[in-house]
Amino acid sequence: MKAFARKIGMTHVYRENGQHTSVTVLELLPTKLCKVKGQDKEGYSGAVYGLFDIAKTARKSILNQYGDVKDGLVKVVEERLVDNTVHEGMKLGETVGIDKFNEGDSVNIVSTSKGKGFAGTVKRHGFNTGPKTHGSHNYRQPGSIGDTGPQRVVLGKKMAGHMGAIRKTFKNIEILRVEKDKNRIYLSGPVPGPNKTIVVVGKND
């Protein structure tokens, strides 16, 4: 099961044993089961969950795939399992509510990290800097990027370039608190991305 959520920010809570823990607050967004795929294939089952009811609208190429369950559809995420129980207990068009999440559950988080723009090798990869004194002009330059053989820059060489804005997955994140009246869950530790970013919360049923 998967659901979309919006990152509200970070705060801290105290566990029952008095331990101080940093947490990330997520607000669940309207998520519905749009489609069940691949039931005719042996050993494969997939469920498509969609985000609904915010200002943007999905592309027509996406909307035309989901029949009646498409009014207000914004984006989709597909879950793939190895059996046919992926949608057990849920009907087509049913909303994934806050009641699906409980304190102590473990979830997987998929989010996009903060973008840092174009960054040099010192910031992006942690390269050492050159000498600051004695007339050195090689303080933050990358240095040599190739060998005498092969006479080319090998693939994967660490160089300056775009930093951040990478899709990341964090697994087995504990839910420390659930606020059903505010539709919020509190996750242990940080979640990638700036505040107000849309993340995917996945739970293994």
Q: Considering the domain boundaries, does residue 128 fall inside one?
A: yes
- 10 and 79 belong to one structural domain: yes
- 6 and 78 belong to one structural domain: yes
pLDDT tens-digit series, residues 41-81: 555 677 888 888 777 788 888 888 877 777 788 888 887 76
What pLDDT score does 90 carry? 77
E strands along the chain, which residues?
Answer: 2-14, 20-28, 31-37, 45-52, 73-81, 106-112, 115-119, 161-164, 167-179, 184-188, 198-202
Measured CA to CA, the distance from residue 38 to residue 21 in angstroms comes to 42
Residue 151 has pLDDT above 70, yes or no: yes
- 39 and 127 belong to one structural domain: no
- 47 and 131 belong to one structural domain: no
Q: Considering the domain boundaries, does residue 173 fall inside one?
A: yes
For 191, the domain range is 1-56+72-114+168-205
- 132 and 105 belong to one structural domain: no
- 85 and 34 belong to one structural domain: yes
Average pLDDT value over all residues in the chain: 87
pLDDT tens-digit series, residues 87-106: 566 788 888 889 989 998 99
- Cβ(3)–Cβ(200) below 8 Å: yes
Q: Considering the domain boundaries, does residue 61 fall inside one?
A: no
Q: Considering the domain boundaries, does residue 66 fall inside one?
A: no
- In one-letter notation, the amino acid at residue 149 is G
Higher pLDDT, 38 or 83: 38
Among 12, 23, 28, 19, CA closest to 186 = 23
- 146 and 180 belong to one structural domain: no
Q: How many CA atoms lie within 13 A of 106 on its CB side?
A: 5
Q: Considering the domain boundaries, does residue 64 fall inside one?
A: no
Q: How many domains does the chain have?
A: 2
What pLDDT score does 40 carry? 56
Q: Considering the domain boundaries, does residue 77 fall inside one?
A: yes
- 89 and 152 belong to one structural domain: no
Q: Considering the domain boundaries, does residue 63 fall inside one?
A: no
**58's tokens:** 């999905």
- 159 and 172 belong to one structural domain: no
- 41 and 83 belong to one structural domain: yes
- Cβ(29)–Cβ(5) below 8 Å: yes
Average pLDDT of the segment spanning 134-141: 90
What pLDDT score does 70 carry? 77
What pTM value is reported for the model?
A: 0.83
What pLDDT score does 86 carry? 54
Cis ω for the linkage preceding 194 (within 30 of 0): no
What pLDDT score does 54 carry? 75
Residue 150 has pLDDT above 80, yes or no: yes
CATH number assigned to the domain comprising residue 20: 2.40.30.10
